[in-house]
Amino acid sequence: MGARTKARKRALDVLFEAEQRQLDPQTLLADRIVDSGSQTPLPQYTVDLVEGVLAHRERIDELLETYSHGWTLERMPAVDRALLRIGSWEILYNDDVPDAVAIDEAVDLARELSTDDSPSFVNGLLARIEEMKPTILA
């Protein structure tokens, strides 16, 4: 597993845990950075992902709702929701990662960590975000 793949998984862990425990994700991230004695320190890319998602979360969530065709965010599995937020941020706001890589990484994590239907759902929704990127960022 590559360094960025591990960083994405750690970002997913932070976002998922914050939602499940109803904690502020920024506070949880700060706790994870400070309390790295009990676990491997968070990679910088994990911090970048979580902070990027949080900075653009309102817009990302709006886009996910718009392009998910009948699926509300609340109806999506929590893992998928976090993966879609991470993937959307990488597609829309991180020029260092090719869009296809962001989609593939999110799909792989969905395959590993979520439901049987999640990989195709995540792939389809992120592909739609990528397709609409010029319009979204215009």
pLDDT one digit per residue (tens) for the chain, 138 residues: 789 999 999 999 999 999 999 999 999 998 888 765 556 778 999 999 999 999 999 999 999 999 998 889 999 999 999 999 999 999 999 999 999 999 999 999 999 999 999 999 999 999 999 999 999 998
What are the extents of the domains in the chain? 3-136
Residue 80 Cα distances to 7, 34, 47, angstroms: 17, 27, 19
Domain 3-136 superfamily per CATH:
NusB-like (1.10.940.10)
Could you give the CA distance from residue 78 to residue 91 in angstroms, rounded to a whole number? 20
Taking the model in full, what pTM does it have? 0.94
